[in-house]
Amino acid sequence: MQGTRTIAGTEPAGSGDGDELAGRRSDYRRIRRAILNGAAAVLAEDPGASSSTIAQACGVHRATLFRHFPSRERLTNALLLEYNTELCAAMHRPEPDELMDRDELVRVTDAMVGAAMRWCVLRYVPLYAPQVDQERARVRHLGRGIIAAARRTPGLLRDDVDDEVLLRAWLTPLVTASAPEADPLDVRRAMLVGILRQS
């Protein structure tokens, strides 16, 4: 069809069966997911891994890797976005104005640590890259809401520092979760000790 634009790997609309197109999209998503999961595992172990090594670990050809992610930067940006999507989902509260008790704060912290340990993005994405700053802003926004909700629960958080200091004390230990020797319990403890009122 003249003048019809296509998505890479698909045929123009009307040139094939709808089920076939849906199947191709499903394959595309499945392969993309396999690449992201495989690349995260490889880069967590070897941040300098070659594209051939990444493709092999993902079970795809190098050309397939490049079709989905034409550059290493695009791949690492996608990994960072996946990590932050999971992190933000862990921090999302359907009712942000409700009180947050200790158990909920611990559950959210555990989910955040799990995401950080799973993706280990700071092993292969520079800490001060511009895209990290953009994603960090999203996390800080949600974090402010969590600190505010926890602050409304009497006696839960330290009262000797302001909320911005508490937010930094809570989020900063997540950086250590990307270290090869990181222990999730140590990261969790560091996050909570910095903000909870000690009895």
Q: What are phi and psi of 114, to 5 degrees?
A: -60, -45
Say if residue 162 is exposed, middle or buried (CB neighbours under 10 Å; 0-12, 13-18, 19+): exposed
Residue 12, CA distances (Å) to 5, 8, 22, 39, 101 in order: 7, 10, 13, 31, 53
Q: Between 3.40.640.10, 1.10.357.10, 3.40.50.2300, 3.50.30.40, what CATH number should domain 72-199 receive? A: 1.10.357.10
Q: Check residues 180 and 24 and name the one with the higher pLDDT.
A: 180
Full 3-state SS string of 15-83: CCCHHHHHHHHHHHHHHHHHHHHHHHHHHHHCCCCCHHHHHHHHCCCHHHHHHHCCCHHHHHHHHHHHH
The predicted-structure confidence for 143-173, as pLDDT tens digits, reads as follows 999 999 999 999 999 999 999 999 999 999 9
pLDDT of residue 7: 37
Q: Between 3.40.50, 1.10.10, 1.10.287, 1.10.101, what CATH number should domain 15-70 receive? A: 1.10.10
87: tokens are 């992190």
All CATH 1.10.357.10 domain ranges of the chain, comma separated, are 72-199
pLDDT of residue 5: 38
Q: What are phi and psi of 100, to 5 degrees?
A: -120, 120
d(CA 111, CA 10): 37
Q: Check residues 132 and 61 and name the one with the higher pLDDT.
A: 61
Q: Check residues 69 and 20 and name the one with the higher pLDDT.
A: 69
Q: What is the mean pLDDT of residues 60-83?
A: 94
pLDDT higher than threshold 80 for residue 131: no
pLDDT of residue 6: 38
d(CA 110, CA 104): 10
Q: What is the pTM of this model?
A: 0.82
